[in-house]
Amino acid sequence: MSAAVSTDGRETGTALDIRGLTTTYGAVRALDDVSFAVPSGRITAVLGANGAGKTTLLRTISGLVPATSGTVALGSHDLSRTPAERMPGLGLAHVPEGRGVITEMTVEENLRLGGLGRRTGTEPVPLERVFDLFQVLGERRHGVAHQLSGGERQMLVIGRALMASPTVLLLDEPSLGLAPRIVAQILDLLGGLARDEGLTVLLVEQNARSALSVADRGVVLSLGRVVADESAATLAGDDQLRHAYLGF
């Protein structure tokens, strides 16, 4: 495992090692030879314009889309050859774009479902832990999920992912359609989980400014290729890159 150095100077291992990952849809190369390392216990933001391949990257890592070539190493496992349904058992949780609440089920059933696929060898996470993080979910535990607001749904899917005791969390556009205050709350929570519990987060965001405010590293994709892989501070300070790819 290669070592990476984060902004605060702490040494850290590599949670996900992505090498030469290529995904094609027909003739279109959605991911083109993507390589970078995701440091463990840190938040890594994946940035880029619409269509840059951010969502495809997450879907390829978690096995929803087959990789054409390349590898994704999680410990000794090559995820590019692992079916999606085995990912939670290996400690990888993916919260998809559009949130993925199962709206026909109750809040509690959604959470229970998350716990069923928990990482191999871990103890069940009590529901109360999620209710401690997100009080509103506890108040509505028996309500059907389609009655939840957008922010509550985002809390539910993050809580559901945590029920599986993951080591790596892939998060796709958590800020989509949410009020800035709620976005800040959620990003804050992620920062806390990374800092205090060593959770590795790979965060795909359209909103580069707020993503870089919590992330340790930033990877910029453009047309399926990695154009920058820097510490978050460096990225935020690079005016040229910011203007060209991040739009702020």
Single residue of 89, 138, 143, 191 touching other proteins by CB under 8 A: 89
Residue 102: CA count within 13 A, CB half-sphere = 13
The smaller minimum CB distance to other proteins, of residues 144 and 227, is found at: 144
Q: Give me the least distance between CB of 165 and other proteins, in Å please.
A: 12
SS3 83: coil
User: For residues 168 and 16, is the Cβ–Cβ distance under 8 A?
Assistant: yes
The reply on whether position 97 binds other proteins by CB under 8 A is no
Least gap, CB of 34 to other proteins (angstroms): 21
Interface map 209-238 toward other proteins (x if CB under 8 A): ------------------------------
Q: Is 197 in the site for other proteins (CB under 8 A)?
A: no
Count CB neighbours of 151 within 10 A.
Answer: 19
Say whether residue 96 binds other proteins (CB under 8 A): yes
- Are residues 219 and 44 in contact, defined by beta-carbon separation less than 8 angstroms? yes
- If DSSP codes are grouped into helix, strand and coil, which group holds residue 175? coil
Q: CB nearer to other proteins: give 169 or 236.
A: 169
Report, in Å, the least distance between residue 130 CB and other proteins: 14
**How far apart, in Å, are the Cα atoms of 159 and each of 90, 116, 176, 177, 218?**
18, 13, 17, 19, 24
**Strand, coil or helix: 188:** helix
- Fill in the DSSP letter of residue 144: B
Hey, which residues between 17 and 56 contact other proteins (CB under 8 A)?
none
* Chain contacts with other proteins (rule: CB under 8 A): 62, 64, 83-89, 93-94, 96, 100, 102-105, 109, 112-114, 116-118, 160, 164
